[in-house]
Structure 1
Amino acid sequence: MSKERPLSLITGASAGIGAAFARALAARGHDLVLTARRTDRLQALADDLQREHGTRCTVLTADLADPHAVEQLCQTLDQQDLHVDWLINNAGYGVPGRFDANDWQVHADFIRVLMTAPTELAWRLIHGMRKRGYGRIVNVASLAGHVPGSAGHTLYAASKAYLIKFSQSLALENLETGVNVSALCPGFTRSEFHDVTGTRPLVSKMPGFMWQNAEDVVEEGIRAVERGEAVHVTGRFNRTVKGLFKLMPDKLALRISAKQSRRYRAQE
């Protein structure tokens, strides 16, 4: 890198894994571009990081469901002469219920936020990374992308599987460029995610050993992308689950998924 302080762009930075990435990278000496829909939370986080680490934080409020949001975001970066070294594609959420129980616009927004926006951000920013000979892209996927889909939250696992395959291909294309790409695949993580989707009463029944803290997930993710690991599943338990499902016949895996869906997915 040609500068002492890398610049990291984090989407969905207002809470959960996104906020944990902001804190971890600020502690490592990064300046930050924080984006999400909730300006007040972003600004509060920016103020904390400025006070604790001297981090220069640029707050850019954006709704990634807007088809023009990514282009406008990158135009603002160019206007402010901000060159992104680390891209953390973290923004995401779940849509509870059956596929046909939601309006199409709900699904269209979901696809744009979880698939289209991270892909477009990577495309718009990777040119500069390659030119400078350094970059890191972390696409926050999920263990759900490695196991059979569930009944309810119909597009969630599909979107995460897409991010995994996209990350693998992008990593291979950039092996000799100084740009590392990694899909980070956590399992159950303590955050607001399940409160927003209304599944907290369901998932709270899951045993404690199945859960990780956002800070631990982020630490694994940073180490993985620095190593050039194209896909990283966090936590020993989650890696075991991935391995077991990989060995199972599809029929058995789907049967188990159907049973588990009733425990932690809102299906109506």
Structure 2
Amino acid sequence: MTRRRVLVTGASAGIGRALATVYAAEGWDLILTARRKAPLDALAAELSAAHSCDARVILADLGVEGAADQLAADIQAQGLTVDGLINNAGFSRTEGFLKTPPEDQQAMIRVMLTVPVQLSRALVPGMVERSFGRVLNVASLAGRMPATGGDTLYGPIKSFMIKASQGLWLEMRGTGVHVTALCPGYTLTEFHDVNGTREEVSSAYPSWMWQTADHVARVGWRACEANRPQVTPGVMNNLMAGLAKHLPDGMALSMVGGHAKRLKRI
């Protein structure tokens, strides 16, 4: 039996690494991509040894224009078939809209919005032809909440990914291709270290609100296998999103505005 292969973007750490580990444990071969070679090589060796999978590493800086086309070309050049796509790569800038350099804003939009659309457009047709596919888009609880100041673009980008995933899920019904938007809340990864908010978020929220990347990845795997269009790990995260959805706009914005002030973003 031919093994399935999944492409994981942003696989070098955090939720991406955890998702790669889950898929390897479930019998998938891997294509791991990110900017950093050393952690990808180490992860590929670790998962190959632990799960007897074929783990390929393809370096890509998805913030560069044309990166998605180049990644697809590199995959094709190696003769690899992609049966699963995990759009996980992402980052945020919390300095505020006017203080964030325009090139950083463009990179955020490209990595977390443009590239997932381009990779899906490039790889999903083959999945449909083979009557099997998995697309897991790592969005965020932020995409289900009112936007916050400071990281002004992050929430709206994640909202787009949720809506786009839902639309693609509708289109893929009956094709054998599953599509899921994974919407984690606060997760213990490098993400907050990279954007410099680890101390603020750790003090702003109690430990019971935090989840591990391994737990989030397993929830995402199960939801995608069940072909759920969206999943948010954690009862409290779902309660907050539901509350925000039903509050009047002014009250909801005041709520998230208080959150931003606690994190010293505005």
TM superposition score category, shorter chain reference = over 0.9
Unaligned 5+ residue runs, structure 2? none
Deviations 1:90-114 (A, max 9, x none): 0001111110112211111110001
- What displacement does 1:4 show? 3.7
Which SS does the other structure have where 2:98 is aligned?
helix
Letter in 2 for 1:226: E
Large movers: runs of 4+ above 2 Å:
264-267
Deviates more, 1:10-19 or 1:201-210: 201-210
Partner of 1:122: 120
CA distance in 2, matches of 1:263, 1:179: 42
Partner of 1:213: 212
Which SS does the other structure have where 1:118 is aligned?
helix
Within-5 A mapping of 1:176-215: 176-205=174-203, 206-215=205-214
CA distance in 2, matches of 1:212, 1:26: 21
Q: Normalising by the residue count of structure 1, what TM-score does the alignment of the two structures yield?
A: 0.97
CA distance in 1, matches of 2:13, 2:228: 25
Which SS does the other structure have where 1:94 is aligned?
coil
- What displacement does 1:265 show? 5.5
CA distance in 1, matches of 2:264, 2:220: 26
Q: State which of 166, 169, 173 in structure 2 corresponds to 1:168.
A: 166
- What displacement does 1:66 show? 1.2
CA distance in 1, matches of 2:195, 2:44: 26
Q: State which of 75, 100, 125 in structure 2 corresponds to 1:102.
A: 100
Partner of 1:247: 246
Which SS does the other structure have where 2:89 is aligned?
coil
CA distance in 2, matches of 1:243, 1:134: 33
Which SS does the other structure have where 1:96 is aligned?
coil
CA distance in 2, matches of 1:264, 1:5: 45
- What displacement does 1:188 show? 0.1
Deviations 1:98-150 (A, max 9, x none): 10112211111110001000110000000100000000000000000011111
Asked if the contact 1:89/1:138 (under 8 Å) is kept, the reply is yes
CA distance in 1, matches of 2:21, 2:142: 26
- CA-based RMSD of the aligned residues comes to 0.9
